[in-house]
Amino acid sequence: MGTRMSLSLVRSLGKPWFPILLVLYFLPGCAPERTDQPATPTKTLAPLPATPLFDQDSAYAFVAKQVSFGPRVPGSKAHQQCGDWLVGKLKGYGAEVIEQTGQVSVYTGQKIPLRNIMARWNPEAKDRILLFAHWDTRPFADKDDERRNEPIDGANDGASGVGQLLEIARHMAGKQHGPGVDILLTDVEDYGQPSGTMGMDENSVDTWALGAQYFAKNPPVPGYSARFGILLDMTGARDALFYRESLSMQMAPAIVNRIWKTAASMGHGDRFINETKYFVGTDDHVPINRYLRIPSTDIIQYDPGTKGFGTHWHTHEDNMEVIDKETLRIVGRVVLEVVWQER
């Protein structure tokens, strides 16, 4: 093609329309392409600061500390004391802390106090990332055969995600690049109406995640938004597997992709399984997606044996014995990596 074009150019020499051809030849895009130069100049991005090391011993200690207060049932003394400790830790890591208090009605009609805790780094930044987990404990063990009316320890269901977020918080003052970060510890997630094994009906779905619903409907920061949100729920049990959660895939597929791809690239594809499972009826990410329109995903354990949550779920077996440092580390470092890679 190039040779034929050049030949016809030679034959046109001396023809009256040759000057027009000559002008056309030098117009951008009309000359035969040169291959010795890149078509567009390459933009080199500045290297990102190294991601800090997520310390699983530290995360484990944060889980154990929460459990040591006793079940963090809304309205209880343990709940009050643990809440105070969480606020103190987050302030100690340099965050501006907003406490959102209020009252919510649970499925029995009973009114209970609510305390959402939001820790903010670089609060002036418009561009933000939201990390969240619930810090309350289920007041009963409705999936157990014994002591069904007693509250559970909630080592995995509640304390694990909060422990990982506290360990991430410990590094946050050192983050000088990229968007601002908010860690939201939601309250009254786990006071939902007990139901059969196969999940929930239309009426009971809204009895869960009351703190996140309250936050999303009345954000304490007017016009609150974020690029994306990541919810950690039951992320600390031994050998836990994390499948792409179906509601997250419907509402926020891009951030799900980011997390599962990052996990695979870090060698954790054996824990972050690249398959979607429908097993979560609702969770804190649903109101955050629905009302605040922040694309948010739930990282939550799926057990192929139960085709649902772990066997310890909402039983007294959800105690420190199910917590494993390796699981805490894997989820913690994947989330920290995704946060650190944002520019």
Contacts to ligand AHN by CB under 6 A: 157, 190, 199-200, 208, 233, 280-283
Shortest distance, position 122 Cβ to ligand AHN, whole Å: 30
Question: Among 152-160, 165-173, 238-246, 269-277, which window interacts with Zn ion (CB under 5 A)?
Answer: 152-160
187 binds, among ligand AHN, Zn ion, none (CB under 5 to 8 A by kind): none
114: three-class secondary structure by DSSP: strand
Count Cα neighbours of 57 within 13 Å in the Cβ-side half-sphere: 0
- Provide the token pair at 176: 């000088």
Beta-bridge mates of residue 298: 231
Shortest distance, position 158 Cβ to Zn ion, whole Å: 7
Report how far residue 85's alpha carbon sits from residue 69's, in angstroms, rounded to the nearest whole number: 10
Nearer of residues 138 and 175 to ligand AHN, judged by Cβ: 138
Nearer of residues 234 and 328 to ligand AHN, judged by Cβ: 234
The beta-strand segments (E) located in 161-320 are 180-186, 228-233, 242-245, 272-277, 296-300
Shortest distance, position 134 Cβ to ligand AHN, whole Å: 7
Shortest distance, position 338 Cβ to ligand AHN, whole Å: 21
Nearer of residues 87 and 280 to ligand AHN, judged by Cβ: 280
Out of 144, 182, 187, 190, the only residue in the binding site for Zn ion (CB under 5 A) is 190
140 binds, among ligand AHN, Zn ion, none (CB under 5 to 8 A by kind): none
Shortest distance, position 232 Cβ to ligand AHN, whole Å: 11
Shortest distance, position 282 Cβ to ligand AHN, whole Å: 6
Nearer of residues 181 and 288 to Zn ion, judged by Cβ: 288
Determine how β-strand 111-121 pairs with β-strand 180-186: antiparallel
132 binds, among Zn ion, ligand AHN, none (CB under 5 to 8 A by kind): none
52 binds, among Zn ion, ligand AHN, none (CB under 5 to 8 A by kind): none
Residue ranges in 90-149 that form contacts with Zn ion under rule CB under 5 A: 138
Nearer of residues 115 and 120 to ligand AHN, judged by Cβ: 115
Residue closest to ligand AHN (Cβ):
281
Out of 136, 153, 157, 187, the only residue in the binding site for Zn ion (CB under 5 A) is 157
Q: Does 233 bind Zn ion (CB under 5 A)?
A: no
Shortest distance, position 90 Cβ to ligand AHN, whole Å: 22
Q: Considering just the CA atoms, what is the radius of gyration of the chain in Å?
A: 27
Shortest distance, position 130 Cβ to ligand AHN, whole Å: 18
Nearer of residues 167 and 190 to Zn ion, judged by Cβ: 190
Positions that interact with Zn ion (CB under 5 A): 138, 157, 190
